Amino acid sequence: MATISAPTSATELSLRSYREESLAHRHDFPQLVLPLSGQLELDVAGRQGVADAATGVFVEPGAAHATSAAGANRALVLDLPSAMVNAELMEQLATRPFVPLSQAAGKLVDFMVLMLEQQQKIALAQLQHWVPLLLDTLAMTAPRPPSRLHLLMARIEAEPGLPWSVAEMAATASISPSRLHEWFQQEAGATPRAWLAEVRMRRACELLRGSALPLSEIAQRCGYADQSALSNAMRKLRDTTPAAYRRALPR
Q: Which parts of the chain fold into alpha helices (H)?
A: 87-95, 103-118, 120-126, 131-138, 145-158, 166-172, 177-187, 192-210, 215-221, 227-238, 242-247
CA distances from 221 to 159, 161, 207 (A): 8, 5, 9
Q: What is the pLDDT of residues 200-241, one digit of tens each?
A: 999 999 999 989 999 999 999 999 999 999 999 999 999 999
Whether residue 187 contacts residue 149, with contact meaning beta carbons closer than 8 Å, is answered with: yes
pLDDT string in tens for the chain (251-residue length)? 444 444 556 889 999 998 887 778 889 999 999 999 999 999 998 889 999 988 999 999 999 999 988 889 999 999 999 888 888 888 888 888 998 888 888 888 888 888 888 776 666 777 888 888 888 888 776 556 667 788 888 889 888 999 999 999 988 887 888 889 988 988 888 999 999 999 999 999 999 998 999 999 999 999 999 999 999 999 999 999 999 999 998 87
Give percent helix, percent strand, percent coil of the chain, each to the nearest 5.
50, 20, 35
- Residue 21 makes CB contacts below 8 A (sequence gap 6+) with 68
End-to-end Cα separation, the chain, in angstroms: 48
Record the pTM. Answer: 0.61
Sheet with 65-68, edge to edge strand ranges: 2-4, 25-27, 65-68, 40-44, 47-51
